[in-house]
Chain A
Amino acid sequence: MVTYGTVLDSLADPTRRDVLDLVRRKPSSVQEIADQLPISRPAVSQHLKILKDAGVVTSHPVGTRRVYTVTTDGFEVLRQWLDVMWRDALSAFAAFADNQPNDSGANQ
């Protein structure tokens, strides 16, 4: 199971985010990505491996090339994640608001 932490770690590196941005715009091979960034082909491969392990990108063969794309089933994951975020944010807000004196914020 890919965790939130794994994904965030995979995106912690600015160059890796650049790699992901290119893949997101257009499915690309390692060489195509390397051509557009000031890093070597092996470095691109290493970044792609980390992104792939995190489940952010996937790859498939096209002819003699291997093409990387962003994974396509993540919308519901986004929604669930935001649902948890807002649930916890509102829970934290309620705990905060209920613990403030009544005259805080504005008039009761």
Chain B
Amino acid sequence: MTTITDVRREVIVAGTPQRAFDLFTKRMGEWWPAEHHLATSPVVAITVEPQIGGRLYDTCEDGSQSVWGQVTEWDPPAGFTFAWMINGTWQLESDVEKASRVTVTFAAEGDRTRVTVVHKDFWRMSEGGQGMADAVGAADGWGAGLTKFAEFAGS
């Protein structure tokens, strides 16, 4: 089957790796682009349970929870890995083995921290990967909304 190259992105932020790790995992709901939620109700919080097997989930205004990840490696402040548990039709993929992986690392760079995201292991999605690929459509349709969020978050 087709191999998808890993997605790799990085950014430098102020402060130590420990600070960045904590802001990233404990306050995700405050910075995660609002447009990128699968939940139908407005999201009021994002929780990252700080341990292997821990869930990543949205808590919605109506009280419901929407799980979209599961921690597979937990090594603060160096980094963590989670299964991105979304399948080809934007539903929860309950089988961790069929979920792609996202690794986030935090490395000191002088008095700042380099945050690197690698989204990988797309082969795990097997048949679901194709459906998802079809489902996501054009990239430019997505970017506009997130740019707005970045402006908002930075203000």
Contact = CB atoms under 8 A, between A and B. Distances in A.
Interface of A: 1-8, 11, 17, 20-21, 24-25, 54-57, 70-72, 74-100, 102, 104-108
Given A20-B89, A92-B150, A97 B119 contact: no
Interface of B: 2, 4-5, 7, 9-16, 18-24, 26-27, 30-33, 36, 77, 88-91, 115, 117, 119, 122, 127-143, 146-147, 149-150, 153-154
Given A93-B24, A95-B153, A78 B147 contact: no
Contacts of A81: 136-137, 139, 142
A3 B137 contact: yes
Nearest to B19: A105
B7 A86 contact: yes
A6 to B, nearest CB: 7
B22 to A, nearest CB: 4
Given A24-B127, A81-B139, 7 more contacts: A4-B142, A21-B89, A75-B133, A82-B7, A90-B11, A94-B11, A105-B23
Contact of B147 (A3, A54, A88, A104): A88
A57 B107 CA distance: 43
Contact of A107 (B10, B11, B19): B19
28 contacts: A3-B137, A6-B141, A7-B141, A8-B90, A24-B127, A56-B134, A70-B131, A74-B133, A74-B136, A77-B137, A79-B122, A80-B139, A83-B9, A89-B32, A92-B31, A92-B154, A93-B31, A95-B154, A96-B23, A97-B14, A97-B23, A102-B15, A104-B19, A105-B15, A105-B20, A105-B23, A106-B16, A106-B19
